[in-house]
Amino acid sequence: MRIDILTLFPGMFEGPMTESMLWKARDRHLLDLRLHDIRDYSTSKHRAVDDTPYGGGGGMVMKPDVVTVAVEAVLNGAPPDTPVILMTPQGRLFSHEIAVSLARQQQVIILCGHYEGIDERVNALVVTDEISIGDYVLTGGELAAMVVVDAVARHIPGVLGAEGGADRDSHADGILEGPQYTRPPVFRGLSVPQVLQDGNHDTIKRWRRELGLRRTWLRRPDLLLKASLTEDEQYLLATFADEDARKSNASK
Ligand code: 6GU
């Protein structure tokens, strides 16, 4: 898969994109990540990329001519319908589902907004999608773009080993993962649960699912609305709800 990133600050990507899993994915040619400096597409004497906003209000706006030409240069030769994603706090909220669907693309182009934003005509002309990573404002789209690249790369076949398959992740089926342990069996008086030490894989699977479900119930009940649960799991949820009801009655 190929991902092109257009940014005013390509240097910001140096560390995160050259370490760990992302570097391995690039090294093994599973991820072809290319950085483009938007400033290279400016034709003005001082290589200007931004200008003051019409109507005032302070800050600077990225120029439509420079940004549009930069995107078109990268689009040249890309498959038809290649997504051009603008990273902006006004975008739709990034999710597991969006990560999976982007990972199915041959190529994705990501445009990092900066300053007060990008001239709206860029959206009309070349942007096909706008993505935000959460309800807070970052100083630029770069860190958000790195989050998207990382989350997408995990779903490119071969990037994760067979063992750590992305289909077992928290959020893959709308349920959070349960707790994990490694040796030693007792650390500062805290033991690894006996069921894990016993090593019965069916029992462990059920135990993990139950704890994941309980954790989801406690921390992210909103996720349960869209989770697909077996009858057993729905029954478990009902018992959590009963326990809560009993506890709250007892404290009255
Ligand atoms: Cl994509 N960009 C900026 N600047 N801020 C954000 C964001 C993106 N997502 C959340 N906050």
Q: Residues 190-208: pLDDT tens digits?
A: 999 999 999 999 999 999 9
CATH assignment of the domain containing 196: 1.10.1270.20
pLDDT value for 164:
60
163 among known catalytic residues: no
Q: Would 166 be classed as within a structural domain?
A: no
pLDDT value for 168:
67
Amino acid at 161: G
Domain holding 64, by residue range, is: 2-153
pTM for this predicted structure: 0.93
Straight-line distance from the first to the last Cα atom of the chain, in angstroms, rounded to the nearest whole number: 58
CA 141–ligand 1 middle distance (angstroms): 5
Question: Token pair 């954790």 is at which residue?
Answer: 215
Which ligand 1 atom sits nearest the alpha carbon of residue 94?
A: 9
Indicate the residue among 153, 169, 195 that finishes a domain. 153
Full strand arrangement of the beta sheet holding 117-118: 50-51, 61-62, 117-118
Q: Which of 89, 177, 214, 215 is catalytic?
A: 89
101 Cα distance to chain centroid: 12
The tally of CA atoms less than 13 A away on the side-chain side of residue 201 is: 0
Among 143, 173, 152, which Cα is nearest to 99's?
A: 152
CA 228–ligand 1 middle distance (angstroms): 30
**What letter would DSSP give residue 51?**
E
**How far is it between the farthest Cα atoms of the chain?**
75
Indicate the residue among 153, 175, 207 that finishes a domain. 153
Q: Is 88 helix (H, G, I), strand (E, B) or coil?
A: strand
**Mean pLDDT, all residues of the chain:** 94
Indicate the range of 27-36, 100-109, 180-189, 242-251 predicted with least confidence.
242-251
Please give the average per-residue pLDDT across 223-236, as a whole number.
Answer: 92
Question: Token pair 């706008």 is at which residue?
Answer: 130
pLDDT value for 234:
94
pLDDT value for 237:
93
Q: Residues 77-100: pLDDT tens digits?
A: 999 999 999 999 999 999 999 999
